Amino acid sequence: MKRVRVRAIAPVAAALCLAAAATACSSSNGGTSASGDKAGASTAPSAADNTPAATSSNSDDAKPVTLTFWGTYGNGGNKAQTDVLSGTIIPAFEKAHPNITIKYVDIPYDSLLQKLETSAAGGELPDLIRSDINWVPKFAALGVFAQLDGKMPDFDKLSADTYPGSLATTKWQGHYYGLPLDTNTRVMISNAQALSSAGITAPPSTFDDLKADAPLLKAKKISVFADKGLQGWTLLPWIWSGGGDIANADLTKATGYLNSPQNVATLQMLVDMYKAGEIPNLLIGNTGATSTQDGLPKGNYATILDGPWMHDIWAAQYPKFQPTYSPVPSGPGGSISVVGGEDIVMTKASKNPDAAEQFIAFTQTADYQIAMAKTGQMSVVKSLDDQEAAAVPYFAPYIKQLQTAKPRPAVPEAPKIDTVLQDDLTPAFQGKTSVQAALDKAAKDIDPLLTATK
């Protein structure tokens, strides 16, 4: 039977929100999508040489299957990603699996969560979803997403080749409800001229360097560091690098962990620099401050933490600016950043789970991962690191940082945890309470959010 391939539904034509990109690609930190889904190179790549042989596991007379796949590749009008998905990736999969047709439906990021909630309640769900990493525990707990470990062929092999921090975003109560699809993280990005103006020859590589550089830069009316907000996306790299954590390993208790001596010391460092005027009030969410997106290339700020999407944003807006990339400054815990991205999940409503699992496995190959990397989506597969860095050189420092990057708490109430961090810790920066008291309150307020659905 000759089939007519179903092409991707037209991508969203909304304008790219550059301001949201500065806060993240986290998304779930009160900013935009955790994916950091920004337009990159638009060249449609060919199949990678090291891709596993694309042989069909379906017999010629097998029943034709159509899988519906919801995603946000066109988020912000990103035509490059939808073009590669529709014109290169999906055709490659369908050629190797002639009985399976992929119907990709592009949905604006801001609408997908609501559509997913509505469809889950009404029982009308697709087979596959490109899910924000922070949605997985919520819908796993609701019984919407299907468990893959112990069920999907080669799950153990495929998952072992993904970054641990990315894989952890698919885990809920001891089981895995997806595989990482794309990822990102934050590294330190510096303005070399701003540093040089204060006699500083290299970006700060440690907490001590940051503290030493701060007064030198202040004398030149330059902030040593800038970021927006105190949510997990911005705060956790400092907490983890400082040797602390937000909760215990089982994510059942924040008290005794978030308010630990290590975290008191780390937060006190940031509070001290803030009070000394070495960090701008953007950190506590003040809207009047210059954004990091503009402040770094203009020389208002010497360093920021941000993701790979900034490369194309600055190339378009500040073509003369040459950013310097380096790891998150090391503290007692090392250099540890935060994971963003999306996961590929299968819904329990799928009537074709075997075919859906074949497509999930295909997303882990070089055909999928390197093709999307060339459009700005970082690969989740460790064995493709060298190939990815060769294809997209500016990804190299992010690839290195991903080796130790960690996820924000993978619990259904994660967005509320971000709200607690912002609300409870801001008074410490304002001098209204001590750092210890602020962390004690935040830990107490987060405890019930960790166990809300246990």
Hey, which residues does 112 pair with through a beta bridge? none
Of 358, 435, 432, nearest to 101 by C-alpha is 358
pLDDT score of 47: 37
Q: CA-CA distance, 284 to 363, in Å (whole number)?
A: 39
> pLDDT grade, residue 17 (50/70/90)?
very low
**Helix or strand or coil: residue 338?**
strand
Task: Evaluate whether 407 touches 166 at the Cβ level (below 8 Å).
Answer: yes
Residue 411 pLDDT > 70, yes or no?
yes
Q: CA-CA distance, 379 to 364, in Å (whole number)?
A: 9
Residue 5 pLDDT > 60, yes or no?
no
pLDDT tens column, 344-368: 999 999 999 999 999 999 999 999 9
pLDDT score of 50: 39
Q: What burial class does residue 33 get, using C-beta atoms within 10 Å of its C-beta: 0-12 exposed, 13-18 middle, 19+ buried?
A: buried
Structure tokens at 108: 């604006």
Q: CA-CA distance, 358 to 363, in Å (whole number)?
A: 9
- Residue 383 makes CB contacts below 8 A (sequence gap 6+) with 161
Same fold, 18-185+340-402 and 187-337+413-450: yes
Looking up tokens 């922070």 gives 134
> pLDDT grade, residue 454 (50/70/90)?
low
Hey, which residues does 381 pair with through a beta bridge? 162
Residue 37 pLDDT > 70, yes or no?
no
Architecture of domain 187-337+413-450: 3-Layer(aba) Sandwich (3.40)
> pLDDT grade, residue 157 (50/70/90)?
very high
pLDDT score of 453: 66
> pLDDT grade, residue 45 (50/70/90)?
very low
Q: CA-CA distance, 199 to 215, in Å (whole number)?
A: 12
Provide the pairing of β-strand 171-172 with 175-176: antiparallel
Neighbours of 168 (CB within 10 A): 17
Residue 39 pLDDT > 80, yes or no?
no
Q: CA-CA distance, 278 to 273, in Å (whole number)?
A: 5
Which stretch of 3-7, 324-328, 431-435 has the lowest confidence by average pLDDT?
3-7
Distance, C-alpha 297 to centroid of its chain: 23
Structure tokens at 325: 């990339």
pLDDT score of 2: 33
Strands (E) in 98-224, as ranges, are 100-106, 128-132, 171-172, 175-176, 179-185, 187-190
- Domain spans of the chain, in order of start: 18-185+340-402, 187-337+413-450
pLDDT score of 287: 74
Question: Which backbone phi and psi does 63 adopt, to 5 degrees?
Answer: -70, 130
Q: Which fold has domain 18-185+340-402?
A: D-Maltodextrin-Binding Protein; domain 2 (3.40.190)
Mean pLDDT value across residues 126-155: 96
Long-range contacts of 204-207 (CB under 8 A, 24+ apart): 204/303, 204/329, 205/326, 205/327, 205/329, 205/330, 206/329, 206/330, 206/331, 207/241, 207/242, 207/266, 207/269, 207/329, 207/330, 207/331
> pLDDT grade, residue 60 (50/70/90)?
very low
> pLDDT grade, residue 123 (50/70/90)?
confident
Task: Evaluate whether 89 touches 81 at the Cβ level (below 8 Å).
Answer: no
